[in-house]
């Protein structure tokens, strides 16, 4: 109880020190460390930690809403993760289906539109159906939530290039002119979430100091914050510290 009170006081202190104008408009977050959390906490299964982690993610959405963050992109499952044993993957798929069942209600409360991005064709039909239902039920809102699932940053760029070339061919652009019609702006327009501004801040938990291809194209000028805590144990105070760190940086955008 005493520790909880101290954290709340610290959170208030952090909030008082924020310049709201310097907060990020788009946050990307890598929800990493579920299996480590399960081992460290002695949980009976990884599925237990996945459930804790997804509940924490919903809290994270509440925290972001309270601070007026307009857009969040969360990486919940990578293409590489799909190579894990089925006895690890399928319990996680179940947890994600549960998450998609709950998200539309929270999206309505937060005036938030949901979009699921990634290679959905690699995922089980039941999970894809749950994701699409959530997307359909929460297809309006001034704020944005992108869920990256079966996602890989390199694959996104490959898909964008294919879509761009296909579009140019459909427009009747001659083969000898295709190369001249491909540039950074035209390619960016074919990314999975081209209608959302590039992220200002990327957060990864569990102590890993790499992005593993998350939003590879869009993160060119993003600020990174790596947090030691595993995702299921990620607290509001950890989030506020990350925002404080971000707000104190001078962004140069390559200049």
Sorting pLDDT into bands at 50, 70 and 90, what band is 252?
confident
Comparing C-alpha atoms, which of 140, 58, 47, 135 is closest to residue 94? 47
Closest CA to 77 of 19, 128, 141: 128
Q: How far is CA 151 from the centre of its chain?
A: 10
Cα–Cα dist 141/129, whole Å: 21
The alpha-helical segments, DSSP class H, found in 172-227 are 184-188
User: Which candidate in 81, 159, 163, 238 is catalytic?
Assistant: 81
In a domain, 4, yes or no: no
Is 136 within a domain?
Answer: yes
Q: How confident is the model at residue 128 (pLDDT cuts 50, 70, 90)?
A: very high
Q: Is residue 32 among the annotated active site residues? A: yes
Rg (CA), the chain: 19
Our count of domains for the chain comes to 1
Is the Cβ–Cβ distance between 74 and 63 less than 8 Å? no
Tell me the whole-structure pTM to 2 decimals. Answer: 0.93
Residue 89's CATH number = 3.40.1180.10
User: Per the domain annotation, does 2 fall within a domain?
Assistant: no
Residue with tokens 């506020």: 240
In a domain, 68, yes or no: yes
The pLDDT value recorded for residue 2 is 60
For residue 78, the cross-strand partners are: 151
* Residue 150: other Cβ atoms inside 10 A: 22
In a domain, residue 16? The reply is no
Range of the domain at 194: 24-247
pLDDT tens digits along 133-154:
999 999 999 999 999 999 999 9
**Nearest 5 degrees, angle CA 136-CA 196-CA 217?**
120
- Residue linked to tokens 């499952």: 77
Neighbour-count burial for 228-245, b at 16+ CB within 10 Å, e otherwise = eebbbbbebebbbbbbee
Residue 106: both structure tokens together: 């929270």
Assess if residue 227 is contained within a domain: yes
Q: How far apart are CA 129 and CA 212, in angstroms?
A: 27
Q: What is the largest CA-CA distance in the chain?
A: 71
pLDDT tens digits along 48-102: 999 999 999 999 999 999 999 999 999 999 999 999 999 999 999 999 999 999 9
| Predicted local distance difference test score (pLDDT) of residue 7 | 66
The reported pLDDT for the residue numbered 62 is 97
12 is a domain residue: no
- Asked whether residue 184 carries a pLDDT value surpassing 60, the answer given is yes
Q: In the predicted model, is pLDDT for residue 248 greater than 90?
A: no
How far apart CA 16 and CA 20 sit, in angstroms, is 10
Q: Which residues contact 1 (CB under 8 A, 6 or more apart)?
A: none
Is 11 part of a structural domain of the chain?
no
Catalytic residue among 32, 146, 200, 230: 32
């Amino acid at each position: 109880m005493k520790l909880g009170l101290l954290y709340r006081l610290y959170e208030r202190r952090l909030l008082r020190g924020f310049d709201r104008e310097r907060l990020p408009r788009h946050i990307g977050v890598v929800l990493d460390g579920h299996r480590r959390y399960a081992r460290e906490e002695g949980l009976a299964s990884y599925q237990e930690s996945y459930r804790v982690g997804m509940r924490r993610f919903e809290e994270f959405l509440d925290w972001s809403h309270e601070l007026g963050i307009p857009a969040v992109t969360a990486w919940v499952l990578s293409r590489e993760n799909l190579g894990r044993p089925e006895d690890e993957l399928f319990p996680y798929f179940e947890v994600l289906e549960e998450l998609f069942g709950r998200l539309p209600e929270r999206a309505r409360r937060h005036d938030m539109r949901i979009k699921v991005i990634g290679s959905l064709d690699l995922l089980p039909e039941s999970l894809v159906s749950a994701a699409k239902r959530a997307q359909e039920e929460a297809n309006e809102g001034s704020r944005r939530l992108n869920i990256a699932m079966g996602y890989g940053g390199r694959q996104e760029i490959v898909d964008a290039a294919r879509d761009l070339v296909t579009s140019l061919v459909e427009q009747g652009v001659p083969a000898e002119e295709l190369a001249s019609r491909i540039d950074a702006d035209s390619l960016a327009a074919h990314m999975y979430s081209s209608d959302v501004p590039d992220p200002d801040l990327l957060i990864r938990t569990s102590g890993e100091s790499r992005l593993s291809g998350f939003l590879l194209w869009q993160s060119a000028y993003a600020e990174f914050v790596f947090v030691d805590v595993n995702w299921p144990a990620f607290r509001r105070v950890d989030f506020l510290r990350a925002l404080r760190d971000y707000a104190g940086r001078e962004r140069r955008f390559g200049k």
